[in-house]
């Protein structure tokens, strides 16, 4: 119906032009095609898609009304009956077929989502059942400290007591105070005193980790990530002390490394986070 009919002449003198031949005989005129046309299947489908989307369909409709024939210059409203074709196509496809297609897509999406939600509920139920089974088994199993010796059981009771955590928190608080007392060009006496305090606090943290390892065992102790953090802090503290001693006694150490190790002492404050239940729950998630 519209194949090859959407061409038109463009130029300064097109008043008396009726076809392609007359158009090209005049210098400066060109014979060009519309962006949306029906010359082949691909372009026709694109034009029909634009019509169905109702975005720019008016220009295509008026171009179809003006089309005269192949290699013929368009005439305004040459065939007004073609309007019925465009209106019928928009009514059938633009309003009904396209909406039906969208409805099918939405319906399939809802069905897929419902199936996924059902599968997710089944997985959650299976996971809860597995957790309940593990919990039931643990309830019937004797505690891990059943066969502990009296000495080890005593250490276990100490490290699992809330007073032990409070004591460690107090030590960390004092450690923070001593770290805050350092300043540039401080007296040698204060520097030596802070150094002794650092050794003392490091020894306390080493003792804490050793007691927990003895009371809980390596497997249970290292299962908790907060305990892994404690071990990392202890190792950093020991490495810092060793580097400071090597700097002063045996071999020269890059001062930047020493300063970095001193800055890393601030990580000891992180030990307080595991005692704050709200912050700990936030970090665990």
**Mind listing the pLDDT tens digit for each residue in 243-263?**
777 755 565 655 566 566 666
Taking the CA atoms of residue 264, residue 270, residue 271 and residue 276 in that order, the dihedral angle to the nearest 10 degrees is 170
In percent, the amount of the chain with pLDDT more than 70 equals: 85
With the C-alpha atoms ordered 44, 50, 51, 52, is the resulting torsion angle positive or negative?
Answer: positive
Residue 84 banded pLDDT, cuts 50, 70, 90? confident
% of the chain residues with pLDDT over 90: 2
Give the 3-state secondary structure of 158-188.
Answer: HHCCHHHHHHHHHHHHHHHHHHHCCCCCCCH
- What integer pLDDT is reported at residue 210 of this predicted model? 92
pTM higher than 0.85: no
Which pLDDT belongs to residue 250?
60
Q: For 198-218, what is the mean pLDDT?
A: 89
Average pLDDT of the residues of the chain: 80
Phi, psi angle pair for 72, to nearest 5°: -115, 140
Q: Which of 139-143, 171-175, 232-236 has the lowest mean pLDDT?
A: 139-143
Ranges 43-47, 50-54, 211-215, most confident: 211-215
Residue 279 has pLDDT above 60, yes or no: no
> What pLDDT, in 10s, does the model give residues 112-168?
888 888 888 988 888 888 888 877 776 667 777 778 888 988 888 898 888 888 888
For the chain, what are the domain ranges? 7-79, 150-284
Decide if 23 contacts 73 (C-beta within 8 A).
Answer: yes
pLDDT on residue 281: 54
- Residue among 238, 174, 176, 165 at smallest CA distance from 203: 238
Query: Measuring CA to CA, which residue among 50, 21, 16 is closest to residue 34?
Result: 50
Q: Which tokens go with 245?
A: 């001693």
Report, as an integer, the average pLDDT of 175-203.
86
Q: CATH code for 150-284? A: 1.20.120.350
């Amino acid at each position: 119906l519209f194949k090859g009919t959407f061409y038109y002449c463009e130029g300064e003198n097109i008043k008396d032009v009726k076809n392609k031949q007359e158009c090209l005989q005049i210098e400066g005129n060109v014979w060009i095609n519309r962006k949306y046309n029906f010359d082949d299947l691909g372009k026709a489908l694109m034009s029909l898609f634009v019509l169905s989307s109702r975005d720019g369909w008016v220009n295509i409709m008026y171009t179809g009304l003006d089309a005269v024939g192949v290699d013929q210059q368009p005439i305004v409203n040459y065939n007004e009956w073609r309007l019925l074709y465009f209106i019928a196509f928009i009514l059938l496809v633009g309003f009904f077929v396209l909406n039906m297609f969208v409805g099918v897509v939405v319906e399939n999406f809802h069905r897929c989502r419902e199936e996924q939600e059902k599968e997710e509920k089944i997985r959650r139920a299976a996971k809860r059942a597995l957790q309940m089974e593990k919990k039931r088994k643990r309830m019937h199993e004797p505690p891990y400290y059943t066969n502990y010796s009296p000495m080890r059981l005593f250490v276990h009771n100490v490290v699992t007591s809330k007073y032990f955590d409070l004591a460690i928190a107090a030590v960390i608080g004092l450690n923070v105070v001593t770290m805050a007392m350092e300043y540039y060009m401080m007296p040698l006496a204060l520097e030596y005193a802070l150094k002794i305090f650092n050794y003392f606090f490091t020894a306390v943290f080493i003792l804490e980790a050793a007691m927990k390892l003895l009371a809980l065992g390596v497997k249970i102790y290292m299962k908790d990530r907060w305990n892994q953090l404690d071990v990392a802090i202890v190792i950093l503290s020991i490495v810092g002390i060793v580097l400071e001693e090597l700097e002063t006694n045996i071999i020269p150490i890059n001062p930047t490394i020493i300063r970095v190790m001193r800055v890393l002492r601030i990580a000891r404050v992180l030990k307080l986070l595991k005692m704050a239940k709200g912050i700990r729950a936030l970090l665990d998630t």
